[in-house]
Amino acid sequence: MILRMHSARLALYPALAPICLGLLSAVAPQTSIAQNNTRDLADIRKEGVLKILVPMDLGETIYLPRSGSPVDAQRQRAEQFAKSIGVKTKLVPVYEFRKMIPMLLSGRGDLIAANLTVTPERQKQIAFTVPFTHVYEQIITASNLVIRDASELQGKKVVADPATSFWANLQALKKKYPAIELIRAPPGLTDEDIIDRVARGVYDATVRDSNIANMYLAYRDDIRTNVSISGERDIAWGVQPNAPQLLAAINQFLHKEHLTQPSIQNSTEDWPAITKRKVLRVLLRNNNYSYYLWRGELMGFEYEMLKHFADLHKLRLEVIIPPSRDSLLSWLRAGRGDIAAGFLNPDISSKEDGILFTRPYHYAPQVLVSRDTDPIKELAQLNHRRIVIPPDSIYTKTIEKLQNDGLQIQTEAAPDNMDTEELIAAVGKGTYPLTLAEEHLVKLTMESNPGIKIAFPVTQDQPHAWAVRGNNRELLKQLNQYIKKEYKGLFYNITYNKYFNKPEQKLARKPAKKTKSKQLSPFDPLVKQLAQEYDFDWRLLTSQMYQESRFNPRARSEAGAQGLMQVLPITATQMGFDDLRKPEVGLHAGIKYLHWLRERFELDIPVLDRIWFALAAYNAGLGHVLDARRLAEQQGLDPNRWFNQVEKAMQLLSKPKYADKARHGYVNSSEVIRYVQSIRDRYHAYLQLTRDRVAAN
């Protein structure tokens, strides 16, 4: 059985009874439940912490938000409520739905923020806030199968989880239409595993709540929604039944901050409307410089800058991912976002009708990218050389200028679906001889492409700016004020260096050197003890420790990972550890986390492959590995083998064609692949080294 969290299932329990929208008092449970750990508003304020129960896999978000995640939005709103009552937030992750309500009742949380639907059964146990959205139960099928009426399910295989109310509704349909073949969802499958099987035709249909269905449709084109099989279901937060003051405060907050907000679908309104709805929509592409998911954390230079801007104005940032870079501005004009970002060049894009650009927030020259063995050093050496560039790009104008200046340059258009990062990688592999790219993008990819170099700049610094609609001049004013204040300031510089000026890290590729010392590291006794406790080869753990920190217990990455095993503080907290700078703490936290990751994969996978999967998940996040295994199966590769199998699928997830359809989106696959390979090679060297020592004795 796959020991994974069925995170999406947390939202698959639809309500069976409505709650009056206007109620601001408690929705009392129908039966009393003994409460030994009830905390009401006064207790929370006294302690200064609101404990929010959230659906979360360890170190993971549910998926990469592409058009606003309902669960992520609720978590952010719960954090805003905490701020409104003057307390801090403590997120309490819940990995199994059946534990959600018991954890609330036991006092481990004060509030459930999990896209929870209201049912009579739950109302007997907990209190619910006023509902803030409604959903329908919808039939999901493969994209080529249309179900216009429930009667058309006859003769179809319909799969559902018996623990959900979907099952009860489907059973009722089966009584009416006996030819429906109702199938219990096999145990051990994640929610998306079932969706995958529907898309492949293993099953004909399944059922999901409409907002969860929309989540899938934001990045999948192999499924579709069909007829609804229910009326409206209410979504609300759950609180302890004996906390009426807390419930009243939350209801008042929701009524003021959420229930009165206007719809923002395709809105073209300016700053006053944005501040009123308290949501700022930003159009970003999913790549390694704008917006991506890493170890469960949303990252990206532009994402962090715009998140900072939104936070300063007490707005919730909602990221929307258009299908291509070319559609950023067309989606902006259509009102699908308020800001378009992505290191846009205002000079090239100034011809776009109805678009205004902010003052520049970044400058970078275009540079020539070559292999590190190429002796080219100056413009004159470009004569009769071939340069591959994206078609109809900003680099076309640069090449034309160089040709007008007398250089005889041969140009070739790269494939339409190849982005800048792929072009740079192709130069590193020798597929193409030369390309042009903006300097900051090359710096970002150099660590993943060690065979390349920046030969020399071919232009002066070029400006980059954010775009807004021409009638949104108040928003433009606010953004310009922000850029003027923050550009080259402390927050800007720290964030920029985090992505583009990272210190070069020499990866462990060389074999281990034989030394007179009998130890592989200064921490061998501790590693051996923990390796035995968690059933690892201690030399493998030593190899990973070297890869992560070079045996430096005070190492800290730009992304905030700390200690010998470079664990993120949030992950350490979830694992039960605090001061990662202490060698015994940092090492234990990392090994326990690696063990936890290994347990996410089926026991029938070969032992070493479970370890390689766990290491890949340690580096990039579990979600990306699950995406790669799913893609491997679709590509005809073995999803249970890492090297030359899932490894190949992982490589594809750095390409927009595949990343756009993956649950967790883009991943820096070269880094993940190199990470696992380096640890394996050093592990083999350590094995040989220790065997030689034993033989010598």
Greater model confidence, 556 or 505: 556
Q: Looking at the predicted structure, is the pLDDT value of residue 301 above 90?
A: yes
Which pLDDT value is given to residue 4?
35
Please report whether residue 453 resides in a domain: yes
Is 514 a member of any domain?
no
Mean per-residue pLDDT of the chain: 85
Do 549 and 591 share a domain, yes or no? yes
C-beta separation of 374 from 318 below 8 A: no
pLDDT value of position 68: 63
User: Residue 216: which CATH number?
Assistant: 3.40.190.10
**Mean pLDDT calculated for residue range 582-591:** 96
Q: Are residues 211 and 354 in the same domain?
A: no
Residue 532: which CATH number? Answer: 1.10.530.10
DSSP 550-609: TT-TT-B-TTS-BTTTTB-HHHHHHHT---TTSHHHHHHHHHHHHHHHHTTS-TTS-HHH
The structure tokens 């927009």 sit at 656
pLDDT tens digits for 589-614? 999 999 999 998 989 999 999 999 99
Q: What is the pLDDT of residue 507?
A: 36
The residues, ordered by sequence, that sit 6+ positions from 285 with a Cβ below 8 Å of its Cβ are 291, 321, 322, 324, 325, 328, 342, 656
User: For residue 25, what are the domain limits?
Assistant: 7-135+234-259
Check whether residue 675 and residue 584 sit in a common domain. Answer: yes
Instruction: Look at residue 47 and tell me whether its pLDDT is greater than 60.
Output: yes
Distance from C-alpha of 175 to C-alpha of 192, rounded to nearest angstrom: 28
Give the DSSP H/E element, type plus range, for residue 159.
strand 157-160
Q: Do 461 and 363 form a contact (C-beta atoms < 8 A)?
A: yes
In a domain, 265, yes or no: no
CA angle, 450 then 495 then 467, to 5°: 100
Within-domain flag for 513: no
Q: Name the residue with tokens 């249909």.
A: 205
Domain membership of residue 508 (yes or no) is: no
Answer whether residue 620 is part of any domain: yes
Q: Is residue 628 part of a domain?
A: yes
Predicted confidence band at 541 (pLDDT cuts at 50, 70, 90)? very high
Q: How many domains does the chain have?
A: 5
Report the C-alpha gap between 546 and 521 in whole angstroms: 8
Lowest mean pLDDT among 31-45, 188-202, 599-613: 31-45
Residue 3 confidence (pLDDT) above 80: no
As a residue count, the chain comes to 697
Flag the least confident range among 117-126, 358-367, 412-421, 562-571.
412-421
300/393 same-domain check: no
pTM of the model: 0.79
Q: Is the domain of 608 the same as that of 691?
A: yes
Q: Does some domain include residue 282?
A: yes
pLDDT tier at 21 (50, 70, 90 boundaries)? very low
pLDDT value of position 160:
93
Q: Which two tokens stand for residue 98?
A: 């059946």
CB < 8 Å & 24+ apart, contacts of 555-561: 558/497, 558/498, 558/499, 558/502, 559/294, 559/295, 559/297, 559/299, 559/498
What's residue 348's pLDDT? 59
621: left (phi over 0), alpha (psi -120 to 50) or beta: left
Are 565 and 619 contained in the same domain? yes
Residues 162 and 248 in one domain: no
| 216, 276: one domain | no
Residue 388 CA neighbour count, 13 Å, CB half? 20
Residue 371: strand, helix, or coil? strand
Compute the radius of gyration of the chain from its Cα atoms: 27
pLDDT tier, 697 (very low <50, low <70, confident <90, very high otherwise): low
* Stretch (H or E) spanning 223: strand 223-228
| pLDDT tens digit sequence for 249-288 | 999 998 877 654 545 678 899 999 999 988 999 999 998 8
In this structure, the answer to whether residues 196 and 324 fall within a common structural domain is no
Question: Which region among 4-13, 227-236, 300-309, 642-651 has the lowest average model confidence (pLDDT)?
Answer: 4-13
- Secondary structure (3-state) at 172: helix
Residue whose tokens read 């590995």: 625
- Average pLDDT (234-254) is 93
CA–CA gap between residue 243 and residue 387 (Å, rounded) = 68
The proportion of the chain whose per-residue pLDDT surpasses 90, expressed as a percent, equals 58
The answer to whether residues 295 and 415 belong to one domain is no
